Structure 1
């Protein structure tokens, strides 16, 4: 039987008239609260802290699944290639440790959250997590005082932290929809009009609808899969022929697991068993199905202990390709020379 969150999320994509009737009043209330918080920030009634280096927010107005984390990784990597000393801050959703944590080589997903730990391992950028982003930013700058810039992974609605730029990641599939609504009747955290006030919108997963004109600065992001590698040995790449010939399973604990399974099918891999876990779900070797080979996401891989006996586990890496170049745009917008 589907869980409540699965029923609600399915309703967001394919509205059910009965659920719309029941949830609409709560969505109206959510919208009023969101508008008041935004107005309190703009008017100065909401206290907001300014960090001593530029802060770039990469967020969304949806509740998850917009492809934000790969965009953050691509942006940070692009800035690093241009010589910018950039750090990352995040709330660290799903972590067990609630204190501010500056990541290091021994950090775990329980301490940092799966997405910040993934970003840290992908980019090697100094990273800190905390429910109060300004506090995380201060801790990061104390540990790395030579940073030129901080990129905040999520936090568009976290107005207690002042920002120098706002970038919103928006799924292409929703650019033509007219039935989007606030949570819980829909997946929106803020109204579509919010897109008109940000510095840039990155449309992910395809081309936007012809009448989608939220910002003069519109970017496109597509996901590319890399070479599958063995868990705990990134240099060992998988032989696709061998994977196709043996019993194969796939596991994904992400917002939209079908994207991951489709990526495997696009590579000619057809898992006999697919396991979709909730986004940010705890993940351990016990959750792995019995198969000659099991392929998992990089986001799930960071939650497995390095000491686990996982000789049959393989990882599919992905990266975001953003056009035009987002890193150049950010540097130009902030008038930073490198």
Structure 2
């Protein structure tokens, strides 16, 4: 779904005010569903990485970074995802033989780093991961799912957009009110550059109360690829394609054309044929994101360049302290990332 731009206006527009009663009903339904659930206790620590809004906020890179952090502490960690866009209901462990149509693009990407499961029934997925040897489970995008007891809940937010106009769907981007969501959270990670982070703090700082607030950014992974001067036709089907295009341009690529698709949109054969034809006509190289790349047919992946990004936090200290308290390995006192 393409989100209305006015969702992220600081002051609610007329459409938001007219739709406000529906937004209150949506948030109320979320609160009612959460209040009536009896969460399942899996017997292993469950760390939830989620968000309050319905847009792409950078949860997948956070999930990957957290999984690598736990692995570095010697903790066998698995990820459980709903598998949005995939046909398998699960619980099913993601295998190299699976495609995005089977398990969804995000689980397929995450599975390259850590054992990953898809499960429409999240509690069953967590139990399956624990039975397979996980000593910790990361629940990807399960913040509003009450079926599993969480030991640590991390809310991820895009610093530039914040929580938009502060209203719930369809009057705004939120799945629930900011106050209700943050009352269940243990930490907030805002992603963006310094100016955006300062704006976010000024607008939403009071809502954070005493919650640990970690500032971070998604940075290109150095791969040795000489991006400078490359003529690129960039395409992306993620929550915010513009961020990908800006990152690629910032590396010095000459972006001669862009193509934006809906988040998780299938890359059909006719669509890919058009992209290749357009790139040939423009004398450009096709470039996409890691998440989009896993939806490409294997025969095409060698012809499309991928720009990977990784999470950089100003400090891991608040999360390391929580992981220590959960008994998940010991902090190694790593220096702060640049």
TM-score, normalisation: structure 2:
0.85
Counterpart check, 1:39 vs 2:35: yes
8 Å contact 1:253–1:277 — kept in the other structure? Answer: yes
Backbone CA RMSD of aligned residues: 2.1
Cα distance change of structure 1 residues 78 and 270 upon mapping to structure 2, 3 Å threshold:
same
Q: Distance in 2 between matches of 1:198 and 1:310?
A: 39
**Contact 2:70/2:329, CA 8 A, preserved across alignment:** no
Q: Verify: 1:312 aligned to 2:308, yes or no.
A: no
The answer on 1:98 being equivalent to 2:127 is no
1:333 is aligned to 2:325: yes
The alignment covers a number of residue pairs equal to: 311
Provide the C-alpha distance between the structure 1 equivalents of 2:174 and 2:309, rounded to a whole number of angstroms.
Answer: 26
- Counterparts in 2 of 1:28 and 1:113: CA distance versus 1, 3 Å: same
Which runs of structure 2 are paired with 1:125-204 in the superposition (5 Å)? 125-142=114-131, 144-145=132-133, 147-175=134-162, 179-193=165-179, 194-204=181-191
2: CA distance, partners of 1:102 / 1:203: 30
Whole-angstrom CA distance in 2 between matches of 1:330 and 1:135? 25
Secondary structure in 1 aligned to 2:201? coil
Q: Does 1:257 align with 2:246?
A: no
Q: Which residue of 1 aligns with 2:8?
A: 13
Task: Name the counterpart of 1:212.
Answer: 205
TM-score (norm 1): 0.85
Q: CA deviation at 1:227?
A: 3.8
Name the CA distance, whole Å, in 2 between partners of 1:329 and 1:129.
29
Q: 1:272 aligns with which of 250, 256, 267?
A: 256
Shift in CA distance, 173/156, structure 1 to aligned 2, threshold 3 Å: same
The CA distance in 1 between the partners of 2:213 and 2:13, in whole Å, is 34
CA displacement at 1:327 relative to structure 2: 5.1
Deviation of the 1:192 alpha carbon: 1.2
**Hey, what's the Cα distance between the residues in 2 that align with 1:26 and 1:270?**
44
- The 3-state SS of whatever aligns with 1:271 is strand
CA distance in 1 between counterparts of 2:88 and 2:149 reads 25
Alignment counterpart, residue 19 of structure 2, candidates 20, 23, 29: 23
Structure 2: distance between partners of 1:23 and 1:270:
42
Question: Within 2, Cα distance between the matches of 1:334 and 1:23?
Answer: 42
Q: Are 1:176 and 1:209, in contact at CA under 8 Å, matched by a contact in 2? A: no
Counterparts of 2:262 and 2:171 in 1: how far apart (Å)?
Answer: 20
Aligned to 2:57: 66
Tell me, which stretches of 5 or more residues in structure 2 are unaligned? 331-338
Query: 1:172, 1:205 within 8 Å by CA — same for their partners in 2?
Result: yes
Could you say what secondary structure the match of 2:246 adopts? helix
Give, in whole Å, the separation in 1 of the partners of 2:234 and 2:163.
32
> 1: distance between equivalents of 2:109 and 2:242?
20
- Counterpart-to-counterpart distance in 2, 1:309 and 1:127: 25
CA distance in 1, matches of 2:95, 2:184: 36
4+ aligned runs moved over 6 Å, structure 1 = none
Maintained 8 Å contact 1:252/1:297: yes
**Equivalent of residue 51 in structure 1, options 33, 37, 42:** 42
| Alpha carbons 2:20, 2:171 under 8 Å: kept | yes
- Match status 1:222 vs 2:206: no
